[in-house]
Amino acid sequence: MKLSRRSTRGPPESWFTFFGLVVVRRTDLLAAAAFVLSLSTVGYQAWQFVRGANPQMYHPDTVYIIFDKYANGVVGTRFAGQLSFTNDGEPGHNAIIRDVRLSLQLGEKTINEKWFAFANITRDDVAIKFDIKEPAHPFVVAGGGASSYLATFAPAVKDCGDQSLTCNQAEEFVSDTDFLQLLSEQKLVYFRFAGSVFGTPRPLESRCKVSVTPDLLTTLAANGWYAVLCASAP
C-alpha cells in the first residue's frame, strides 16, 4: 500500500476584493494602492482643469470716508480702501478682475460708487491726500497668487439716455451735509463690495460693517475725512 506524500504547501493565501479587484498577495495590495492613487491624481487634475480659476475678494479692513470738493465747488462723499484678491486655481488658470463697485444703505438712501483710481495715501497733520498712481483698470490675479490695491471710489454720472429732461444725472452724488445727516441716523452701516470677473457670470462679493460713533461724526465733519474699522459681516 502506497502512502500519499504529505503536502508541504502552507494554507491557501487569504484574498479579498479591493474596488472590484481580487487581491491575494501583499505585492498585489501595493499595486492596487498605486493604481487607485494614480486614478485619484488624474481625477484631481481633471477637476482642477474643469474648475479653472477660482478668485476671491476681501473687503478693506479700513474704509476711508472722504469729503471731496469737485471743480464746480460741490463737496461730495467718496470712499477708499485696500482691496485684496486671491486665486486658488492651479498655476496658469488666471482670473481677470474687471471692476469693483461699492454700495451702502443709509435708511432709504442707497449710495452706489464704482472704483475710480489706484492710489497711495499721504497725510500732513490732520489733512489726508490720495496720490493717484493710475486710473482703476482690469488686472490679472494669477493662479495660486494674490493681488492687492488701494482703490478710491467715486459716484458715476447716471446715463439718462433719451430721458435727459426728467433724469437726474447727479443722482448718485451725495453731499457732505446730506451724508452726515443720513449717517447720524444709523448705528451700523454695511458696506458691500461687488466685483466682476471676465469670462464668468459669478460675481465676487464681500461685506463689512462700520459702527457709527459720535467721534466718527464730529471728526468727519471737522476734518473732511475719517478712517473707520470695517469688520467682516455675513
| Average pLDDT along the chain | 86
- Given a cut of 70, whether residue 205 has pLDDT beyond it is yes
**Residue 169 — very low, low, confident or very high, per pLDDT cuts 50/70/90?**
confident
Whether the Cβ atoms of residue 190 and residue 230 lie closer than 8 Å to each other: no
Instruction: Give 9's pLDDT tier (boundaries 50, 70, 90).
Output: low
Average confidence (pLDDT) over 73-95: 95
User: Residue 86 — very low, low, confident or very high, per pLDDT cuts 50/70/90?
Assistant: very high
Calculate mean pLDDT across residues 10-21: 55
Give the distance from CA 83 to its chain's centroid.
8
- Between 33-37, 96-100, 152-156, 168-172, the lowest mean confidence (pLDDT) is in 33-37
pLDDT score recorded for residue 96: 97
d(CA 119, CA 150): 6
Report how far residue 128's alpha carbon sits from residue 150's, in angstroms, rounded to the nearest whole number.
14
Of 205, 181, 197, 201, the C-alpha closest to 58 is 205
**Whether residue 16 has pLDDT greater than 60:** no
How large is the average pLDDT for residues 11-26?
A: 57
Strands of 12-51, DSSP E: 16-18, 21-23
**Lowest-confidence region among 6-10, 120-124, 149-153, 159-163:** 6-10
| Backbone dihedral region for residue 20 (phi beyond 0: left; psi -120 to 50: alpha; all else: beta) | left
Our separate counts of H helices and E strands in the chain read: 3, 14
Instruction: Read off the pTM.
Output: 0.78
Highest mean pLDDT among 48-62, 102-116, 155-169: 102-116
Alpha-carbon distances of 228 from 114, 119, 210, 231, rounded to whole Å:
19, 18, 7, 10
User: Domain segments of the chain: what residues?
Assistant: 16-51, 55-232
- How far CA 56 is from CA of 28, 86, 119, 120, 231, in Å, comes to 44, 5, 22, 23, 17
Mean of the pLDDT values across residues 41-62?
A: 71
pLDDT at 23 over 70: no
Query: CA 141 → CA 25, 50, 136, 203, 204, distances in Å?
Result: 50, 18, 15, 15, 13
Q: What pLDDT band is residue 26 in, cutting at 50, 70 and 90? A: low
DSSP letter (8 states) at residue 103: E
